[in-house]
A and B are shown apart, each in its own frame.
Chain A
């Protein structure tokens, strides 16, 4: 009896560890667990205080969007906004652009922050792929991105009407993520 117990104990421990490992793998596959994921500290918190120079795109002024400087306080403007950190040199930003354009065409307010980019390169990028943003700030030094806890472009934040961060995505916007963002936006409208 004792011998059998001694034999079964390691087997049981191995089975338990295996089950835990499988559960971890499953959670990694469904995206509920990401060992490399950087936590979003801003969730449920107001956006950091920042003030960025605006970015003027040719044609912006005529469409009613002058080169307006972008400040943290502007994000608490009484309506939810999707804020996207992007750069012309970022390949995943090209990949997610059609989904951002679709959100823009659906009337969702999208603001952009150009991360460590040259204005002419930003203009060329938006001219080539389409501009989904109604307002753009220029984070040339990349310090506002650090205040947002951004680790790399693209990253997208959903900011509610009072300027509190409600949702965040690191990496390119997939179709599922875009749908999720749109439904969250309606929820906070």
Chain B
């Protein structure tokens, strides 16, 4: 098979590929695509308490499935995102949120990029100030010696 055919086949495969659904079981999804998208977005911000580094949308754990179901039930009941997050944090604390809120305990965490920028900027400024001045241009004698060396 020619290389062109392989590339074409790959392109066709890519074009035909469906998006990877986080939830394997279509029965879990809400019938309304807009509401389902909201549920998936919200579930993506909630930590699976079993695997801990996955969202409940990505996790295969039993508890994550229950929580996905709860998120969808609350959305179908017409609750807002913040109401659902409040429901979750009432049970599992801020730990359940993959994006922690800004409060005294997380202040250092949220400030860390700015602190790093300040330290880096300070170091760059200090090293610039310490940079030695460029050497003075060559005088006439040095110029002629240079020419001599370059063109023997």
A residues contacting B by CB (< 8 A) are 36, 38-39, 41, 116, 141-143, 146-149, 151-152
Q: Does B91 contact A (CB under 8 A)?
A: yes
B52 touches A36 (CB 8 A): yes
Which listed residue (A39, A116, A141, A146) contacts B67, Cβ 8 A?
A: A146
Which listed residue (B49, B70, B89, B94) contacts A151, Cβ 8 A?
A: B49
- Count of chain B residues with a beta carbon within 8 Å of a chain A beta carbon: 16
A146 touches B95 (CB 8 A): no
Can you offer 25 A-B residue contacts whose CB atoms are under 8 A?
A38-B49, A38-B92, A38-B93, A38-B95, A39-B92, A39-B93, A39-B94, A41-B90, A41-B92, A116-B62, A141-B66, A142-B62, A143-B70, A146-B63, A146-B70, A147-B91, A148-B91, A149-B91, A149-B92, A149-B93, A151-B49, A151-B50, A151-B63, A152-B50, A152-B63
Most buried by A among B62, B63, B70, B89: B63
B126: nearest chain-A partner, CB-CB: A6
Q: Which residues on B sit within 8 Å (CB–CB) of A151?
A: 49-50, 63, 92
Q: Which residues on A sit within 8 Å (CB–CB) of B70?
A: 143, 146
